[in-house]
Amino acid sequence: MGLLEGLILSFVVGWINSYLYRKYLRKRNKDWIVFLAVTFLLILWTVDSLIYFNVIDMSWLNFLPWVNIPSIEAGKYFLWNSFILFGVDFQITHQSGMEIIVGFLLISYLFWYYFGSKVGKVVHGTKTYQQGHYLIYRPVKKFIRDREKESENSMAKNQ
């Protein structure tokens, strides 16, 4: 995947991780969210680094009729032209000094992941009992039923 696709994927996985944390993981172990974040980011950084240094050769994608990756520096060309698989080729070629930009983009995966998880927490809520802003799209009857069930459970605990 390209650098821009990695940024988008980091945001989406951060969003999904915040939902999983609120829905399933917070009840059991709070450290799972950190484990999932570190695992995802390390895998993404490793794959992108291997593509950048041509350990994973991306010129095999030339069998697609709309893809034309040059044989020299195929990984760098693939990473810079992120949407080449979708038929959009910006024809950005590698030049000196672009390694610094790649370094910043790879580090920014962490920040996009964090941003996605924070936006996800706004939508999904941070605690298991919070519903977040997606409550706007949830059926009202189900919300009332859940609220009554929670009040019954709290009354049973108090007795």
Residue 144 lies in a domain: no
Q: How many CB atoms lie within 10 A of CB 67?
A: 17
Residue 44 lies in a domain: yes
**pTM strictly above 0.85:** no
Residue 159 lies in a domain: no
Length of the chain: 159
pLDDT tens per residue across all 159 residues of the chain: 678 889 999 999 999 888 887 777 666 677 777 888 899 999 999 999 998 888 888 878 778 788 777 778 877 888 888 777 777 776 777 778 888 988 899 999 999 999 998 888 877 776 655 566 555 555 555 556 676 777 777 777 776
Residue 41 lies in a domain: yes
Which domain range does residue 115 map to? Answer: 3-128
Measured distance CA(35)–CA(83) in Å, rounded: 29
Burial of 85: CB neighbours in 10 Å, binned 0-12, 13-18, 19+: middle
Distances (CA, A) of 3 to 6, 13, 32, 34: 5, 15, 26, 23
Which of 121, 119, 109, 79 is CA-nearest to residue 10? Answer: 109
Residue 146 lies in a domain: no
Residue 135 lies in a domain: no
Q: Considering its fold, how many domains does the chain have in total? A: 1
Residue 87 lies in a domain: yes
